[in-house]
């Protein structure tokens, strides 16, 4: 969003117009644009207000009803922490009795909002002028929260009890945004976070979930978080914010609430104490946070199961058990992976809808689905295939998803 567009929204006319609009509907946007311009509003103001209305609608997935009173930038919304996850971050500072918290690189202010809601005296620091203005608006309901436009690395932390950071992990160009994977290329870099922790400062930092275990500092707790099956972050906690006896954790937030699996040890690939065995009984697909945290073997043991292959995160177990850490499937058949034979199987079983999952195989599910269904007609049946390796064999496991009731 250009700088001038936000300036239009922040005028009394723009703010009043934005808050007068009903829920944004893409199908009605052209009509609404025309009506607002006929009412005498400038094209620039109308474009800016409709952009914000569109972002507010998109933001409801992260912020719920709070989104209706907030401002956003496209990049800021993309990186912003979901409000329910930000609340869990803030809870750590509350439980550690850290009153004055600096949010370094606050973006649009999501984590600062959560901290302020728990009565933390939060100072949100943001380098970008436009994003800082957005954060200021979003934090206005909390008088104990303030926004400072400035550099996170040079901000004076004297008098602060704790620090939260959400480093910028994307670069912006004319072609859009792209992710940064090198922790030292983040803004601020991971080494800056470690320097704060080395001084004894309680620090929490949100990173991308793809951070490798070998890049995680030795003196922290790392918690991978998933929401609705999507792994959204890895959070590092230092000093008073780190829980005793926990090195790595998987926090899974689903329809029945939050569940957590933890370990006190570092992850060592190939040293997981779990056996392998055949694909029979029930197949379990571990949650992505469990996989990232290196806790698949723990889930397998809890289910009384085994891995199909020591390098692949699929579990088989003889009994059906409900677990928040994996999705369950009933194994119906195990077939060799052969495209011609699978195509004949699809046709013979009148399959018109085919869900394909895979791990450990260089197969594109969308392309294979199209290949298997082409020429088979639109049969009435639905099927699920799990493609994987078992030892040196490539297999297609026919499964049936198992559903458990959602707790009310």
Q: What is the pLDDT of residues 341-388, one digit of tens each?
A: 999 999 999 999 999 999 999 999 999 999 999 877 678 999 999 999
Q: Are residues 26 and 139 in the same domain?
A: no
Q: Answer with the one of 50, 70, 90 that is the final residue of a domain.
A: 70
| Number of CB atoms found within 10 A of residue 393's CB | 11
DSSP 24: -
CA distance 316 to 308: 7
Other C-beta atoms lying within 10 Å of the C-beta of residue 281? 17
Same domain, 98 and 240: yes
**Would you say residue 276 lies in a domain?**
no
Residues 236 and 351 in one domain: no
Strand order of the sheet with strand 146-149?
A: 146-149, 121-126, 100-104, 162-165, 203-207, 230-238, 220-227, 248-254, 257-263
Query: Is the same domain home to 33 and 85?
Result: no
Same domain? For 225 and 120 the reply is yes
Token output for 126: 């943001």
Residues 32 and 103 in one domain: no
Q: Is the pLDDT of residue 136 over 50?
A: yes
143 and 197 fall within a common domain: yes
> How does pLDDT run across 140-183, given as a tens digit for each residue?
999 999 999 999 999 999 999 999 999 977 666 556 667 777 88
Q: Report pLDDT for 182.
A: 80
**Domain containing 195: what range?**
77-244
Per the structure, how many domains does the chain have?
3
- Give the per-residue pLDDT at 214: 93
User: At 199, which CATH number?
Assistant: 3.40.50.150
Percentage of the chain modeled with pLDDT above 70? 96
* pLDDT interval class at 1 (50, 70, 90): very low
Residues 105 and 218 in one domain: yes
Residue 119 lies in a domain: yes
Q: Does residue 306 sit within a domain? A: yes
Q: Does a structural domain hold residue 269? A: no
Q: What's the mean per-residue pLDDT of the chain?
A: 93
| Same structural domain, 218 and 147 | yes
Mark which of 192, 218, 244 sits at the end of a domain: 244
Residue 268 lies in a domain: no
The pLDDT tens digits of the residues spanning 56-80 come to 999 999 999 999 999 999 989 998 9
Kindly indicate the confidence band of residue 268, based on its pLDDT and cuts at 50, 70 and 90. Answer: confident
Dist CA 251 CA 127 (whole Å): 31
What predicted TM-score, i.e. pTM, was given to this entire model? Answer: 0.91
Q: Are 170 and 79 in contact (CB under 8 A)?
A: yes
Domain membership flag for residue 40? yes
Residue 407 resides in a domain? no
Q: Reduce the secondary structure of 225-288 to three states and give it as a string.
A: EEECCEEEEEEEEEHHHCCCCCCEEEEEEECCEEEEEEECCCCCCCCCCCCECCCCCEEEEECH
Domain co-membership, 44 together with 94: no
Asked if 223 and 293 sit in the same domain, the reply is no
User: Is residue 324 in a domain?
Assistant: yes
Query: How far apart are alpha carbons 75 and 363 in whole angstroms?
Result: 32
pLDDT at 4 exceeding the cut of 70: no
Of 44, 70, 96, the residue at which a domain comes to its end is: 70
Q: Is the peptide bond before 188 cis (omega within 30 degrees of 0)?
A: yes
Measured distance CA(357)–CA(284) in Å, rounded: 12
Same domain (yes/no): 93, 204: yes
Residue range 77-122, pLDDT digits in tens: 998 999 999 999 999 999 999 999 999 999 999 999 999 999 999 9
| End-to-end C-alpha distance for the chain, whole angstroms | 41
Which residues on adjacent β-strands are paired with residue 227?
Answer: 230, 253
């Amino acid at each position: 969003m250009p700088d001038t567009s936000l300036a239009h929204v922040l005028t009394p006319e723009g703010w009043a117009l934005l808050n007068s609009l009903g829920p944004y509907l893409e199908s009605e946007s052209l009509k609404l644009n025309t009506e607002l311009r006929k009412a005498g509003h400038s094209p620039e103001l109308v474009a800016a207000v409709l952009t914000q209305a569109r972002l507010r609608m998109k933001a409801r997935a992260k912020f719920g009803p709070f989104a209706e009173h907030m401002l956003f930038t496209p990049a800021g919304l993309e990186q912003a922490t979901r409000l329910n996850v930000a609340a869990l971050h803030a809870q750590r500072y509350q439980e550690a009795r850290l009153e004055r918290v600096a949010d370094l690189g606050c973006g649009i202010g999501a984590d600062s909002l959560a901290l302020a809601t728990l009565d933390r005296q939060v100072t949100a620091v943001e380098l970008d002028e436009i994003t800082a203005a957005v954060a200021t608006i979003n934090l206005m309901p909390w008088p104990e929260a303030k926004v400072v436009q400035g550099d996170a690395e040079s901000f004076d932390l004297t008098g602060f009890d704790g620090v939260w950071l959400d480093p910028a992990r994307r670069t912006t160009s004319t072609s859009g945004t792209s992710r940064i994977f090198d922790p030292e290329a983040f803004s601020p870099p991971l080494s800056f976070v470690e320097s704060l922790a080395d001084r004894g400062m309680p620090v929490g930092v949100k990173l991308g979930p793809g951070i490798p275990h070998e890049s995680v500092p030795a003196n922290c707790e790392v918690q991978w978080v998933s929401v609705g099956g999507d792994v959204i972050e890895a959070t590092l906690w230092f000093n008073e914010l780190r829980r005793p006896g926990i090195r790595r954790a998987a926090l899974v937030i689903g329809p029945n609430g939050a569940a957590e699996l933890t370990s006190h040890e570092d992850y060592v690939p190939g040293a997981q104490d779990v056996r392998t065995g055949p694909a029979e009984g029930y197949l379990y697909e571990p949650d992505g946070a469990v996989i990232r945290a290196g806790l698949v073997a723990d889930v397998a043991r809890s289910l009384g199961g085994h891995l199909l292959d020591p390098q692949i995160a699929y579990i088989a177990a003889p009994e059906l058990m409900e677990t928040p850490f994996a999705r369950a499937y009933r194994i119906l058949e195990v077939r060799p992976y052969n495209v011609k034979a699978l195509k004949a199987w699809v046709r013979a079983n009148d399959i018109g809808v085919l869900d394909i999952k895979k791990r450990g195989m260089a197969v594109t599910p969308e392309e294979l689905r199209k290949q298997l269904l082409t020429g088979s007609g639109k049969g009435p049946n639905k099927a699920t295939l799990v493609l994987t390796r078992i030892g040196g064999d490539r297999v297609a496991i026919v499964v049936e998803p198992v559903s458990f009731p959602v707790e009310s």
